[in-house]
Chain A
Amino acid sequence: MNENQNRNDIAVSCTNIRKHYKDVQALKSVSMEVPRGEIFGIIGPDGSGKTSLFRILTTLILADEGTANVDGFDVVKDYEEIRKRVGYMPGRFSLYQDLTVEENLNFFATVFNTTIAENYDLVKDIYAQIEPFKDRRAGKLSGGMKQKLALSCALIHRPSVLFLDEPTTGVDPVSRKEFWGMLKKLKMQGITIIVSTPYMDEASLCDRIALIQNGEFLTIDTPRGIVAGYPNKLLAAEADNMQQLLADLRKNAVSKSCFAFGDKIHISVSDDIESRLIVSGLTEYLVDKGHKNLLIHEIVPEIEDCFMQLSQK
């Protein structure tokens, strides 16, 4: 692949990005490459550096070290070019609350030298849902509607790359699902989407994901690839006294690590021994400890298990 082709196929790339605020190292040597037309998820807990990375890529702040390119342009040198062609939806709702839905969309269309009519086909699916409320002030919309309006405003100039910083935080589960459906449609239109989220269950909806913690990427792969790379066997256990169960499991030498996951405890154990043997061994150990209604069985790991395992290293 020659240099030129590379430039055209890669929508976003960054190499060894570092960023610190006073005494906090927000990003420690982050590198990634996102091909065109991909939904790329950056997944990690609050404070892991997601927003800093987004702000560097959208030219809002400067990295201490490293280079980054968006749509073939350097984020420092060609920031004005990048600003013309990306769409950005910050984590906090950042539209004008005292302007109506329509005025907001109109304003952002004009700022980007376009009109609502020109790109209406792109935002139609999303905007149609809030159009009945177009004369309502943006500040008076519900969380899900605000999010749709913000997405419409970020899309109105038909960006080539869309940056969505935690778009589903604080949005109800139904709207979240709907939202991911919209992203899939946008992807079909050829828009590259970089999306961050603290929800691990949204990871599987991305083409590829980067798991981030404390300013470092733990891994970058497809959701399947990450799950396939899980090195251990995983068991789920439940019993009447969950707190005691967690404590007892942690004391047991067989379990490499145990975490509470909702109403179950996930235990990762060595891949070398047959799972049937481990389950019966653990059951015996726990019954001895006096646990009632014990239930242990092998499960397929999810992204969150992988995240836990990777962040342990």
Chain B
Amino acid sequence: MKQLMSFVRKEFYHIFRDKTTMMILLGIPVIQMILFGFALTTEVKNTRIVVLAPTYDEASERIISRLNNSAYFDVADRINSDDEIETVFRNGTARLVVVFEERFGEKLRHEGKAHVQLIADATDPNAATTFSFYASNIINDYQQDLMGATSNPYRITPEVKMLYNPQMIGAYNFVPGVLGMIIILICAMMTSIAIVREKEKGTMEILLVSPMKPIYSILSKITPYFVLSCINFASIILLSVFVLKVPVTGSFATLTFISLLYIFVSLALGLLISTFASTQLAAMLMSGMGLMMPVLLLSGMIFPVESMPYWLQLISNIIPARWYIEAVKAIMIQGLGFMAVWKEIAILTAMAFVLVAVSLKNFKVRLE
């Protein structure tokens, strides 16, 4: 026990004396959260639109002002002929052009039917779908108001209710994802480098010629980084609640518990990597690049797991981030408790055991 304590103390010295690395490790999560939170948002805000209204009339002007007054759109310009539409997109003046047909207001009044065309720049298909959907909604609203006067007996109005995230705030989706990604990347990198560094600096040579037990050396490497990761977890949660306004609606205790478990799994994954890598660079590449892609693409953080082909879904099962992100979404956003995530907890626990066991088995008691 004294041996273990001494090992742990040594690891803390290593970390605290390397101030640059420590600042990086504590700074990365904060910077990433802020980046994702403010810059990389998928919400539609202030999309520039251009209007083509050949005939000036009340109806079209009302619609235009409704569009302009919404938070989603800004009317950047008005054009007068079809020929200019192409130019508008090429110059990047607008991402959406709203085209009213000739004599729009008159047709609407006399024939009860008029056309509006929405032309969207679909370079980014998701964004195009979103903002053209918003634009149609605004136009529909206007139509509803008109119809309010002339009542139509047969009408079906679907009433959509967005549960858990009624305002469709993007942060609700990415906070669990970023949490899952940052923890696994930083933890795996920290531990894998810490062990490989001993190999590279030659200190492993002396440590091996001593009664040190492999399990001690493994546990002592995990402990300080576990503490550091808890600080990271706290700073991410604080940022998400107070800066990004994503509340923890479910049980905070369960969220903390599963996060600590996930941190442990990630650290153990780093240990496993360290038993393969022989240089710090190799360890960094394996834990950074090797984990980044699968976590980013297969964890359900960006692309939903359900829409993946079956074989990719199978692969995504072995990615710890997938289970963690699912659980965090359930707790933070859906407001569920322990009972809702017991399966994820069980899977992560099993992963922790397997990873530690394999690392121990793989731990080389000799130099080669």
CB within 8 Å of B: which residues of A?
A: 55, 58-62, 79-80, 83-84, 86, 88, 90, 92-99, 103, 106-108, 110-113, 153-154
* Contact call B208/A110, Cβ cutoff below 8 A: no
Interface residues of B in 1-59 (CB under 8 A from A): 2-3, 5-7, 10, 13-14, 17-18
With an 8 A cutoff between CB atoms, is B365 at the interface? yes
* Contact call B365/A79, Cβ cutoff below 8 A: yes
Return B292 CB to nearest CB of chain A, in Å.
29
Decide yes or no: A83 and B211 within 8 Å by CB, A59-B366, A62-B366, A113-B3 being known contacts: yes
Kindly list chain B residues whose C-beta atoms are within 8 Å of the C-beta of A58: 209
A193 to B365 alpha-carbon distance, docked (Å): 24
Return A79 CB to nearest CB of chain B, in Å.
7
**A83 CB contact (under 8 Å) in B5, B201, B210:** B210
With an 8 A cutoff between CB atoms, is B150 at the interface? no
Query: 8 shortest A-B CB distances, which residue pairs?
Result: A110-B6, A94-B202, A88-B209, A60-B367, A84-B211, A98-B17, A92-B202, A111-B210
* Contact call A94/B203, Cβ cutoff below 8 A: yes
Decide yes or no: A111 and B211 within 8 Å by CB, A94-B205, A98-B17 being known contacts: yes
Kindly list chain B residues whose C-beta atoms are within 8 Å of the C-beta of A86: 209
- Listed by A's residue number, 21 A-B pairs whose Cβ atoms lie within 8 Å are A55-B367, A58-B209, A59-B366, A60-B208, A61-B366, A62-B366, A83-B208, A83-B209, A90-B206, A94-B206, A95-B203, A95-B206, A98-B14, A98-B17, A98-B18, A99-B13, A103-B10, A108-B206, A110-B2, A112-B210, A113-B2
A154 to B205 alpha-carbon distance, docked (Å): 12
Taking CB as reference atom, which chain A residue is nearest B210? A111
A58 to B208 alpha-carbon distance, docked (Å): 9
Taking CB as reference atom, which chain B residue is nearest A55? B367
Most buried by A among B201, B209, B365, B368: B209
A-B Cβ contacts below 8 A, count: 77
Return A193 CB to nearest CB of chain B, in Å.
15
* Contact call B10/A99, Cβ cutoff below 8 A: yes
* Contact call B210/A96, Cβ cutoff below 8 A: no
* Contact call B211/A113, Cβ cutoff below 8 A: yes
Decide yes or no: A111 and B6 within 8 Å by CB, A59-B366, A62-B366, A98-B13 being known contacts: yes
A154 to B206 alpha-carbon distance, docked (Å): 9
Interface residues of B in 297-316 (CB under 8 A from A): none
Decide yes or no: A60 and B209 within 8 Å by CB, A94-B201, A94-B202, A103-B10 being known contacts: yes
What are the interface flags for B200-228 relative to A under an 8 Å C-beta threshold, 1 for contact and 0 otherwise? 01110111111110000000000000000
A39 to B242 alpha-carbon distance, docked (Å): 69
* Contact call A88/B366, Cβ cutoff below 8 A: no
**B366 CB contact (under 8 Å) in A60, A106, A153:** A60
Kindly list chain A residues whose C-beta atoms are within 8 Å of the C-beta of B14: 96, 98-99
Taking CB as reference atom, which chain A residue is nearest B5? A110
Return A167 CB to nearest CB of chain B, in Å.
14
A92 to B5 alpha-carbon distance, docked (Å): 27
* Contact call A103/B209, Cβ cutoff below 8 A: no
Taking CB as reference atom, which chain A residue is nearest B201? A94
Return A99 CB to nearest CB of chain B, in Å.
6
Return B322 CB to nearest CB of chain A, in Å.
37
Return A61 CB to nearest CB of chain B, in Å.
5
Decide yes or no: A106 and B6 within 8 Å by CB, A55-B367, A98-B14, A99-B13 being known contacts: yes
Kindly list chain B residues whose C-beta atoms are within 8 Å of the C-beta of A83: 208-211
Return A7 CB to nearest CB of chain B, in Å.
22
A243 to B307 alpha-carbon distance, docked (Å): 82
